[in-house]
Structure 1
Amino acid sequence: MSLAVDMQCIEISTPGAASVLTPVRRAMPQPGDNEVLIRVGAAGVNRPDVLQRQGLYPPPAGASDIPGLEVAGEIVSVGNREVRWQVGQRVCALLSGGGYAEYAVAHEDLCLPIPAAYTAIQAAALPETFFTVWSNLFLHNTLKPGEALLVHGGSSGIGTTAIQMANSLDHRVFVTAGSEEKCQLCLQLGAEAAINYRQQDFVQEVKTLTDGRGVDVILDIVGGAYVQRNLKAAAFRGRIISLAFLQGSKVELDLMPVMLKQLVLTGSTLRARPVEEKASIARSLLDKVWPLLDNGILAPVINTTFPLTRAADAHRLMESSAHIGKIVLTLN
């Protein structure tokens, strides 16, 4: 089978609003050493894509300028030295860029087999959030057995993944969300309590739920005013992990609770990590998490799909925060 010489993709014409996402045709990418070329069936949409579009999160050196950090599809060619994967295999893959396209190149070690019963749409919703949640909470035992977790943005892609993972490992999971509908979904996924932040004070609610102790780990995608409040909600020697800053990254902070409670404040990004580090996460996911996908214990929550040419509409929905779970772009 001969492949086309060019492909449809979405480029960022200039930093700005969602309307700058422009369907264009570009030359087909070619896999290099230890890489595979994937015919994309679906591509996940993530907050970092929005930041890149706004000019706030440029791709790392050597990565495609096409947005998109996760895809699922079929391998159609392999590069030099590639021995792990073969043409025709179905995979999902974590990318550093290039996902909003008919074809995408991925490193062999950042590809994972699509679970047997999964469609490309379901599989495309896995890599970015599963790599992120697993590496931050479980890979290095950050969330220890018996500890409690608070997840801000419980109905987001990150949140719905974290709830299911932590619940499957018998942790107490509390979440914040912005509507009763979102709270109900979080409870259905396994959260012990879902706090509507528009109506309740999450610090007080967490204290009540834990008999005044607080939570051991907080996964925060909000930032802003939540940072100081997280210090109050955390237990002694608690860990607070910042993954995003929907309310801003610049805050004025009283560090006294950090000292008195011996707290750890840390943060994480995934895109710019070395391939070797991300490959280690992939191996751990395949060993520990993929069996839970195969037997239905875990599953991605997908809100809406859009055809690739409507990537701008997907970004508008993402920015509205009206969605629950993941947004996915589809291709023929």
Structure 2
Amino acid sequence: MVLNDEEYVMSGNWTEQHIPDQHGRVAIVTGANTGLGFETARMLAERGAGVVLAVRDIDKGRQAAARITGDVTVQALDLTSLDSIRSAAADLRAAHPRIDLLINNAGVMYTPRQSTADGFELQFGTNHLGHFALTGLLLDRILPVPGSRIVTVSSTGHRIQAAIHFDDLQWERSYSRVRAYGQSKLANLLFTYELQRRLASHGATVAVAAHPGVSNTELMRNTPAALRLPVTWLAPLLTQKAEMGALPTLRAATDLAVTGGQYYGPGDRLEIRGYPKLVTSSPDSHDDAVQQRLWAVSEELTGVTFPLGLAER
């Protein structure tokens, strides 16, 4: 049976129809030209938000913007370059005196060993350090805004062979694309929880995390060869469309019941697919000492400090 929009709302499942009116709000979505980011931006714009597609490829960003109904602009942002991040942040600050939503969505997955322009391992540099730097550089535009949120997209991969390898963060001695991805996604959660702790005394802004389950997007293109065929066969059974995968992020960004430090993902038992609900992350992601250490290292590596005092634990 296919439900219409009203019946979806009545069913108790959180859907696109639950997104509150977003008129007057400014949302920045990284990696918004395709997949989860595109669907996130599209739904926010259709609810009235002014949405900035922060993307590496401007031409693809403009093509994406043309497919969205609403107030949509495009901003060049290459998360593999601190210079690009600083330039994008300067542009965004000049264009937007206030920012209501920063959605740290862009990411890479299971890439071969590569380095960013600044010498960081590509997955850690893009997924964590790039978003850490962008958030810090935009934070003073977010902090004064009532109801503002910073949403960072993690993954169930934060549980798979995942740890923060402080003795070899850039995987220079050895490299596992799966473990490196797990490190970057665990870092997303450690960052969110530590950021929320630091934001707590400032009142207006909260930090929240989300994950899309297993969604059928271009992110899967670097799946290791040994897994590619099984993944292709099982994809119709295990994956969901990008518009469903974006719902946990949208709930984290817009649901009025959300509080800081929460984590949203798909609602089925394995968190692979389904409507979004509050979920839990691994015990490693809640390690206070690792959160603080990663924060300090991230500030050192990026040269970005946040305009927040360090609250006592």
Question: Taking structure 1 as the reference length, what is the TM-score of the superposition?
Answer: 0.37
More helix by share: 2
Greater radius of gyration (CA): 1
More strand by share: 1
